[in-house]
Amino acid sequence: MFWSKVFIPTLKETPKEAESLSHQLLLRAGFVRMLMAGAYTYLPMGLRVLEKIQGIIRQEMNACGASELLLPALHPLELWQKTGRDKDLGEVMFKFQDRRGRDLSLGPTHEEIITDLIKNNFSSYRQLPLVLYQIQTKFRDEIRPRFGLIRACEFIMKDAYSFDQDEAGLDKNYQLMYEAYKRIFSRCGLETLITEADPGVMGGKVSHEFMAPSPLGEDIILLCSKCKLTRAFSREKIENEEGSPHAGKEGNNSCPKCRVNMDKVNTIEVGHIFKLGTKYSQAMQANFSDAKGQLKPLVMGCYGIGVSRLISAIIEQNNDTDGIIWPAQVAPFGIIILPLDVTDQKVMQAANSLYQELCAGGLDVLFDDRDERAGVKFKDADLIGVPTSIVIGKKSIEEKNIELRIRKDKSTQLIPRENAVKFITKLLS
Amino acid sequence: MFWSKVFIPTLKETPKEAESLSHQLLLRAGFVRMLMAGAYTYLPMGLRVLEKIQGIIRQEMNACGASELLLPALHPLELWQKTGRDKDLGEVMFKFQDRRGRDLSLGPTHEEIITDLIKNNFSSYRQLPLVLYQIQTKFRDEIRPRFGLIRACEFIMKDAYSFDQDEAGLDKNYQLMYEAYKRIFSRCGLETLITEADPGVMGGKVSHEFMAPSPLGEDIILLCSKCKLTRAFSREKIENEEGSPHAGKEGNNSCPKCRVNMDKVNTIEVGHIFKLGTKYSQAMQANFSDAKGQLKPLVMGCYGIGVSRLISAIIEQNNDTDGIIWPAQVAPFGIIILPLDVTDQKVMQAANSLYQELCAGGLDVLFDDRDERAGVKFKDADLIGVPTSIVIGKKSIEEKNIELRIRKDKSTQLIPRENAVKFITKLLS
Identify each DSSP E strand in B146-239 by its residue range.
Answer: 154-164, 193-196, 206-213, 219-223, 230-232
| Contact yes or no for B47 and A68 at CB 8 A | yes
- Bridge-partner residues for A264, per DSSP? A222
- What is the number of CB-based contacts under 8 A between chain A and chain B? 140
Res A231: pLDDT: 85
Which candidate in B68, B74, B82 is best for mutational testing of the A interface (most A CBs within 10 A)?
B74
Among B5, B40, B106, the residue with its CB nearest the CB of A67 is B5
Q: What is the Cα–Cα distance from A77 to A93, expressed in whole angstroms? A: 10
Strand partners, A109: none
Chain B residues whose beta carbon lies within 8 Å of the beta carbon of residue A1: 67
Higher pLDDT, B422 or A429: B422
Using the beta-carbon criterion (under 8 Å), do A73 and B137 form an inter-chain contact?
yes
Q: Mean pLDDT score of chain A, rounded to an integer?
A: 93
Residue A242 has pLDDT above 70, yes or no: no
Mean pLDDT of A185-202: 91
Contact between A188 and A314 under an 8 Å Cβ cutoff? The reply is yes
- A38 and B75 within 8 Å at the Cβ level: the answer is no
> Using CA atoms, how far apart are residues B116 and B128, in angstroms rounded to an integer?
16
In 3D space, the residue among B207, B227, B209 whose CA is nearest the CA of residue B218 turns out to be B209
β-pairing, B295-297 vs A32-36, is unpaired
In chain A, residues under CATH classification 3.30.930.10 are: 3-320
User: What is the mean predicted confidence (pLDDT) over A134-138?
Assistant: 98
Which pLDDT band holds residue A237 (cuts at 50, 70, 90)? very low
What's the pLDDT at A224? Answer: 92
- Mark yes or no for CB contact B98/A100 under 8 Å: no
CB contact under 8 A, B7 and A132: yes
Chain A hits for B72, CB-CB cut-off 8 Å, are 35, 39-41, 154
> Distance between CA atoms of A35 and B117, rounded to whole angstroms?
8
**Residue A85 CA, distance from chain mean position:** 26
Over chain B (429 residues), the average pLDDT of each successive run of 10 is 94 88 96 96 98 98 97 97 94 96 97 95 89 98 91 97 97 98 98 89 88 91 90 58 54 84 93 96 94 95 97 97 97 97 95 96 95 95 97 92 95 94 90
Task: Give the per-residue SS3 of chain A.
Answer: CEHHHHCCCCCCCCCCCCCCHHHHHHHHCCCEEEEECCEEEECHHHHHHHHHHHHHHHHHHHHCCCEECECCCEEEHHHHHHHCHHHHHHHHCCEEECCCCCEEEECCCCHHHHHHHHHHCCCEHHHCCEEEEEEEEEECCCCCCECCCCECCEEEEEEEEEEECCHHHHHHHHHHHHHHHHHHHHHCCCCCEEEECCCHHHCCCEEEEEEEECCCCCEEEEECCCCCCEEECCCHHHHHHHCCCCCCCCCCCECCCCCCECEEEEEEEEEEEEEEECHHHHHCCCEEECCCCCEEECEEEEEEEEHHHHHHHHHHHCEECCEECCCHHHCCCCEEEEECCCCCHHHHHHHHHHHHHHHHCCCCEEECCCCCCHHHHHHHHHHHCCCEEEEECHHHHHCCEEEEEECCCCCEEEEEHHHHHHHHHHHHC
* Closest chain B CA to residue A127: B4
Does the pLDDT at position A240 exceed 90? no
pTM: 0.94
Q: Looking at CA atoms only, how far is residue A410 from chain B in angstroms?
A: 29
Residues of chain B with CATH 3.40.50.800: 333-428
The domain A3-320: what is its CATH number? 3.30.930.10
Strands, E, within B124-172: which ranges?
130-139, 154-164
What is B151-164 written as a DSSP string?
Answer: B-SEEEEEEEEEEE
Measured CA to CA, the distance from residue B22 to residue B149 in angstroms comes to: 9
Residues of B in contact with A105 (CB under 8 A): none
Please report the pLDDT score of residue A197 as a whole number: 85
Distance (Å) from the alpha carbon of A85 to chain B's nearest alpha carbon: 18
Of residues A319 and A255, which shows the higher confidence score?
Answer: A319
Per-residue pLDDT at A418 exceeds 90:
yes
Q: Are A6 and A366 in contact (CB under 8 A)?
A: yes
Q: What is the pLDDT of residue B250?
A: 66
Closest CA to B407 of B334, B313, B316: B334
Evaluate the omega torsion of the peptide bond into residue A129 and state whether it is cis, within 30 degrees of 0: yes
* Reported confidence tier of residue A247, pLDDT bands at 50, 70, 90: low
**Tens of pLDDT along A67-111?**
999 999 999 999 999 999 999 999 999 999 999 999 999 999 999
Instruction: Kindly provide the b/e burial profile for residues A176-206, where b requires at least 16 CB atoms within 10 angstroms of the residue's own CB.
Output: bbeebbeebbebbbbebbbbebebeebbbeb
- Test the A interface: residue of B26, B67, B136 with most A CBs within 10 Å: B67
Name the residue of chain B whose CA is nearest to A129's CA.
B5
Q: Is B327 helix (H, G, I), strand (E, B) or coil?
A: coil
pLDDT of residue A238: 44
Residue A198 banded pLDDT, cuts 50, 70, 90? confident
Which class does domain B333-428 fall in?
alpha beta
pLDDT in tens, A281-335: 999 999 999 999 999 999 999 999 999 999 999 999 999 999 999 999 999 999 9
* Residue B228: predicted pLDDT: 87
Distance to chain B for A7, nearest Cα, Å: 7
Q: Which amino acid is at A106?
A: L
**Helix %, strand %, coil % for chain B, to 5?**
35, 30, 35
Question: What ipTM describes this predicted complex?
Answer: 0.94
pLDDT tens sequence across A370-380: 999 999 999 99
Question: Hey, of B121, B158, B298, B368, which one would you mutate to test binding to chain A, going by the most A CBs within 10 A of its CB?
Answer: B121
Dist. CA B66–CA B51, nearest whole Å: 19
Which of A2, A27, A43, A123 should we substitute to test contact with B (largest number of B Cβ atoms within 10 Å)?
A43
End-to-end CA distance of chain B: 20
Residue B252 distance to chain A (closest CA, Å): 36
Whether A43 and B69 lie within 8 Å, measured CB to CB: yes
**A334 Cβ contact list (under 8 Å, min separation 6):** A328, A363, A364, A365, A386, A387, A388, A428
3-state secondary structure of B210: strand
Burial classification of residue A102, based on how many CB atoms lie within 10 Å of its CB (0-12 exposed, 13-18 middle, 19 or more buried): middle
CB-CB under 8 Å, B41 with A72: yes
Q: Give the separation between CA B380 and CA B375, rounded to whole angstroms.
A: 9
